[in-house]
Structures are given as C-alpha cells and as structure tokens.
Amino acid sequence: MSYQVLARKWRPKQFKEMVGQEHVLKALINALDNDRLHHAYLFTGTRGVGKTSIARLFAKALNCEQGVSSEPCGVCTSCREIAEGRFVDLIEVDAASRTKVEDTRELLENVQYAPSHGRFKVYLIDEVHMLSNSSFNALLKTLEEPPEHVKFLLATTDPQKLPVTVLSRCLQFNLKNLSPQRIVEHLNYVLNQESISFDETALWLLARSAEGSMRDALSLTDQAIAFGSGVVGEADVRSMLGTIDHRLVYQLLAFIAQQDVRQVIGTLQSLSQFTPDYFTLLGDLVSLLHRVALAQMLPDAIDNSLGDQQQVLELAQLMSAEDVQLFYQIGLMGRKDMPYAPDLKEGLEMVLLRMLAFRPASVAARPVTLAAQPLDRVDKGRSDGVAMNEASPVSAASSPAPLPSVQAQPDPVAVSRVVPELNRPMQEDVPPWEDVPEIASSESNAEYEVESTQKKSEPLAQDRPAAPQEDERILAVSQPLESAVRAEGHPGVEEQEQEAAPIEEAAPIEEVAPQPMGQTYTLAELRPNDWVHVCASIGLTGMTESICRNLSLERVENDQLCFHYPPEQAALLNPTQQGRITDALAAYFGTGVGVQFVQAAQTLETPAQYRLRKRAERQALAVKSLQDDPMVKTILQQFSAYLDESSVVPIEPNE
C-alpha cells in the first residue's frame, strides 16, 4: 500500500477525535442527539483548523445506517463510503473552480431529487466566498427553503465576502486557531503512534510555524521526518524552517540586562550565521520583553505555550521593571525606524546599543556629563556634579579603570565649549526687570543643574556622602581638563571658581519655600471690585468657570454675595451650576456664604471683561514700546518699513 501523508491518515473519524473546537462540537452534538437540525451550516476559520473535517463528520452522522447520532458507527456502508470520499449523496463542490452562475444552476437542478442511498443529500461547498454574485442570487431561494432531504454545509476562510443574505440563512460557526500547546500534544501522540523519534523542542518549533493550523503542523512534521531521515530533531527542524535558535534571543536579552556590550555584539554575530530576518528578530525580542513584563507583574499568567516558561521567569528576576518597560518602548520605536536604516543588521545593532545607552531615570546609573559643571566642584571632591554622572551604562558593565586614560588628553573642541560657559557672568540669567541679588542668580543656576538629574526633594550633594570610587574617577577626568583650560590662558576660570563657591554652602532645595502667586481674600475684606481676582482662585474649571467669569459681584452685605448675570447666561446658570459656584466659594472662604444670583443689568466689571481690558492694555503697551524703541525707529526709517501692529503679541502673565 502506498504511503499516506499524516494530515490525511490522522484526519478525525469521530467528533471525539477532533482537537480543539469544543464550542462548535458541543452545538453540533446536541443538535444531532436532540434531532434539532438546521438546513444550512456555515463553518468559518483559517486554513487547516477543521472546517471540512467537521462537515464530513456531520454528513456521516446524518447518514449513518444505525440512525442519526453524534457517534456514527464508522463500519456501515454509508460511513465507510463517506470516509473514502465516494458516497453518492455527499456532493462536495469546490466553489473556487465553479464560480459561474451556470454551474450553480446545474447543481440546483438536482436538489429536488431524493437521495439515492443515504438519509439526506448533503451539499458541501468549500471556499463558498469564491462564488459570483449571480451564483449567490441563484442559491438564495433554495438555501432559504430547501427540500427536507437536503442539507447545505458551507465552508469559507473569508466570511466577510459573503452577502448578508446568505449569512442570515445559515447557522454560523467560527473555528478558532489552535494553540501551540494543543498542537504539540497532538504531534506528540501522532509520532508516538508512528514510532518516530523526536525532540520536544522541535515539536514546539513546528507548532509555532503552523500558526494555529493542525493540517500545516502535520504537513511540516511530514517534511521534518523526510528531512531528518525518520527522526524529528531540533537542529534539523531549525535548518528546515530557516529559524534561529531562540535560546540565543534569551541570551541576548540577558546580556542586555547585564550591560555586557561585548556579549551582546557577539551574540548578534552568532545569530547572523542563520541569516535571519532582523526585523522579525527584533519583533521576537519585543515579544519576549512583553512576556518578561507580564511575568514580573503576574507570574502565574505565564504559561508554557511557547516552551520558554522557565527562561522567561529567570529573565523576570534578572531585570528591573523599569528596564523592561524602557527596552520594550525602544524596541517598538526601533521597529518603526528600521526600514530607514541603510542595513537591517545595522538598524538592529543601533536598537540594541540604544538599550545599553539609556536607562530609566529612577535607576542609579546615569550618563557622564562634565561640560555643564563648574570645575571647582569636581576639584574639591563635591558630588553635586556626580549626580549627573553616576556610572554611565558602559562603565557599569566594564571596569572604570580605562576611563581616566581615555579622558586624560582633553579634546580641544570640548575645552572650547567649556570656556565660554565659565567666562559668562552668572547674573546675565537674571532679567533686567527683576530686582534680585547676585547670589540668588548663582543659586538659581545651581538648582537648574541639579534638577536636570535629581528630584526636587533630594538634598544637594554636600548633605550626603559621595561614593569614593566615583569621586576618584571624576577627579581623574576633570583635573586634566581643568589644567588644560587654564593652560590656554582663560583668566575667567579663577573668577568663576570664586564666584561659584557660595553655591556649595547652599541650603537643600526642598527647604526653599515658594512664594504665594496672589493675594488671598477673606469674606470680611471682600469688596465687589475684588471679584475679578477671586474668580480665578476658587478652583472652578470647564463650563462652570466660563459661567463664573461672566458674573458681576454687585453687593457684599452680611456674608451675602449678590451676583448679576445677563439674559444670555440664564439657560446655562441652572441650579447645578449655581450649587457648584456656591460650594467653591464656601471652600475658598472656609465658611458658609450666602449667594444670590439675579438676572439684571451688570454695573460692575466681570472677570471676563477685566481680562479683555487688561489684554488690550498690554497690547497697546507692547505696540507703544516697540514704536518708541530707538532700534525699531532706525529700522523703520532706513528700510521705509512700517510696524504691523496685528503681529505684536504681548507677554501674557500667569493668571
């Protein structure tokens, strides 16, 4: 007897032999056992998930000589002929090759005749979505009211292409893709029955490549058996499928977590021997990061559907949650940018190097930044600047010893960038209209430098001990740089060091109390004209704030506030809005307050009118200041130009 492929040999012969699709089988079995049979069934799903197999089993159950049952005998003439594909009353039609309306009409001409041998005449139309619109129209009437001895079984991979008139006449069952776990279990059973040696890892590779299709999985298994000379081995399957060793992907992520640049590049070189699709490789890495993040938050949610449960749990313990989230985001952005890279491998390398270079802000490791720090801080062993350069990602994975030797000879360009910053007077940062002492300017700059890498609640470095190793490394870098700057004859360095000295004795940032933004009014002090300022401070937002800005406070008597509003606000100022305004005023004044809303003429200015007036005044002042400016006058005179007042935008204050 000739060899029969596994996909045909192991086609289910009973409903109970089906793998998966329990939701479909339950409905069909109950319908058969209770004799509640519909005249048309539609089975949808991707390739190889069991649409045709279920349809044939259903036809066998309908025509078994032992009677209609969910468990056909399988030995009677009808059951054997259906299994062998030669049952005269089971008409299988390939709609892809019979799309014309003439073919459909010819098919329907025989519907009226009774079955020749079986109990029902069953029409199994595969890929029914390939029929033309005319064919569907010809089929509609028969599909709606067929003879009692006729059953229609339709199968398709694309139900969206079916007319709704066809869908409404059928019972629709959507078959799901099988999980890799179910496929591996079935392949394990089949190969044991076939007495074929196999590696379980190879079965997982085949199951993932099948993408939910059992038929594809069995076909790939046939191919793997032929490729491995009767043995399904992991190496042979990887070579056959052209896939990479996923253990290298796990190693790659582990080396990234350990900040081992050499091992990361070496692992990538090992992966390149498989000539992989680097875009897909990055996708695998991103998917692995997702599983690691899930394992960190909910370890029980990680199953072994990919055969990597243990590796994922180990990576989850190796990496911090912040690193995983950052690497995942870098990977997503890298996939977006990879098509623009000159070479996909280069693009992947840059993504991996980006993961090594960047760390979350909460992690202690931060990049080294010396250019923005005054040199005297580093020279005196202070760690104000250390906060910005506590062990860069590269130095965290390698010995810090080579760093001073590399930085010992300062780059002339880098020195030239530092010198202007040192020579610039610090009080230039203070606007001319601010009357602030000179030392306040220095403190402000110092705070700006520290806040770029530290939280505001964290004290400055002189209140906490600095790590000796990091101080020594930064001193080794900064001292040659400082000497090189002085050697070039920049006298501003000495003055800048003396000027920056008071910064080192500054109080912690968290002790600087902010000044209040505006005056606070009490109910006893409140006057009607103060309403324009109080309105912005009572904490209203949205429509309620807009309504409040159009109210005018006309009287304040005995803790009673009387507001006037125009007629156009009557529909908006409903009891709900009035209650919100009253509650906000009571919370602001800290005591009960009586509020009265009256629709009447407004004699005093509303907050909205006040804002418009102030804005117009600022606009006029800005235009006048430009017109009176000597430089502007000179430009207008020399170029015969004019000032476009509509383009002048005044500086809006914080309200």
Dihedral sign of CA atoms 221, 222, 228, 230 in order: positive
Distance CA 176, CA 156 (A): 13
Cβ–Cβ < 8 Å for 234, 199: yes
- Give yes or no for residue 537 having a pLDDT over 50: yes
Give pLDDT tens digits for 242-292. 777 778 888 899 999 988 999 999 988 888 877 788 888 899 899 999 999
Give the pLDDT of residue 369: 37
Q: Length of the chain in residues, anyone?
A: 655
State how far the alpha carbon of 221 is from the alpha carbons of 49, 136, 233, 292, 439, in Å.
Answer: 16, 39, 11, 30, 79
Dihedral sign of CA atoms 492, 493, 496, 497 in order: negative
Local confidence band at 307 (pLDDT 50, 70, 90 cut-offs): low
Give pLDDT tens digits for 23-34. 999 999 999 999
Q: Where are the alpha helices (DSSP H) in 366-507?
A: 375-379, 393-397, 402-407, 412-423, 438-451, 468-487, 492-500
Quick one: tokens of 567? 């007629």
Cβ–Cβ < 8 Å for 268, 278: no
Quick one: tokens of 191? 């190969």
- Give yes or no for residue 403 having a pLDDT over 50: no
Give pLDDT tens digits for 439-456. 334 444 444 443 444 444
Give pLDDT tens digits for 621-638. 999 998 899 999 899 889
How many CB atoms are located within 10 Å of the residue 281 CB? 21
Local confidence band at 361 (pLDDT 50, 70, 90 cut-offs): low
Average confidence (pLDDT) over 605-626? 90
305 vs 47 pLDDT, higher one? 47
Distance CA 78, CA 86 (A): 9
Cβ–Cβ < 8 Å for 550, 599: no
* pTM attached to this predicted model: 0.51
Give the pLDDT of residue 190: 93
Residue-averaged pLDDT of the chain: 77
Give the pLDDT of residue 514: 33
Give the pLDDT of residue 654: 61
Give the pLDDT of residue 449: 41
Local confidence band at 239 (pLDDT 50, 70, 90 cut-offs): confident
Please name the amino acid found at residue 386.
V
- Give yes or no for residue 156 having a pLDDT over 80: yes
Cα within 13 Å of Cα(236), Cβ side: 19
The closest alpha carbon to 447, from 493, 359, 387, belongs to 387
Phi-psi category of residue 211: left, alpha or beta, with phi > 0 → left and psi -120 to 50 → alpha: left
Give pLDDT tens digits for 142-155. 888 888 999 999 99
487 vs 86 pLDDT, higher one? 86
Chain-centroid distance of CA 520 in Å reads 45
Please name the amino acid found at residue 571.
A
Percent of the chain with pLDDT over 90: 32
Give the pLDDT of residue 329: 94
Cβ–Cβ < 8 Å for 115, 121: yes
- Give yes or no for residue 62 having a pLDDT over 90: yes
Average confidence (pLDDT) over 172-190? 92
Phi, psi (degrees; rounded to nearest 5) at 301: -80, -10
Give the pLDDT of residue 311: 85
Give the pLDDT of residue 306: 65
Average confidence (pLDDT) over 26-49? 92
